[in-house]
Amino acid sequence: MTKDERKQAITDLLQIAFSPGKTNDEKRALMSKIINAGHYVQHSAVVPDGFDGLMSLIETFDQTFEDYGVKVIRLIADDNYVWAHCHYTYGSSDPRGKAIIEIFRFEGERVVEHWDVIQDVPETFANPNGMF
């Protein structure tokens, strides 16, 4: 895969996973084309290990938030890694959302490892630049 193909795969993955409208089974089928479901290492402190752990988080989102989504702001690809700088929103329960850096490692054409760094979007900023 080229760097651009890996970046597109991550954009597709995030849009599938964190947008309402598809069933968990539909998401699982689509995501398993991008993630190596049999060998997926999770480093996030809030998500259980493995593909099933990720699917559990997504199912919780579907059940908990009336409206949620992700906007991919920028992507950086280097070797087998892709970094995604994203703005996640969760509806009225968290109207400003979170700034999240997602880091994915590919083996071949599939994602096999994930890390994240999560920060709440504050109401006010100490500078005029914003988070995105």
DSSP string, 6-65: HHHHHHHHHHHHTSTTS-HHHHHHHHTTTB-TTS-EE--TTS-SHHHHHHHHHHHHHHH-
pLDDT of 79 above 90: yes
126 domain-assigned: no
Domains held by the chain: number = 1
Phi, psi of 39 (to 5 degrees): -150, 70
The pLDDT of residue 27: 96
128: in domain: no
125 within some domain:
no
Mean pLDDT, to the nearest integer, of 89-104? 93
Residue 26 lies in a domain: yes
Question: Is 130 inside any structural domain?
Answer: no
Output the pLDDT for position 82: 98
10 lies in some domain: yes
- Strand intervals (E) in 41-124: 41-42, 69-78, 81-89, 98-107, 110-120
Instruction: Classify residue 115: in a domain, yes or no.
Output: yes
Q: What CATH number corresponds to the domain at position 30?
A: 3.10.450.50
> Could you read off the pLDDT of 26-64 as tens digits, one per residue?
999 999 999 999 999 999 999 999 999 999 999 998 898
Domain that holds residue 50: 3-120
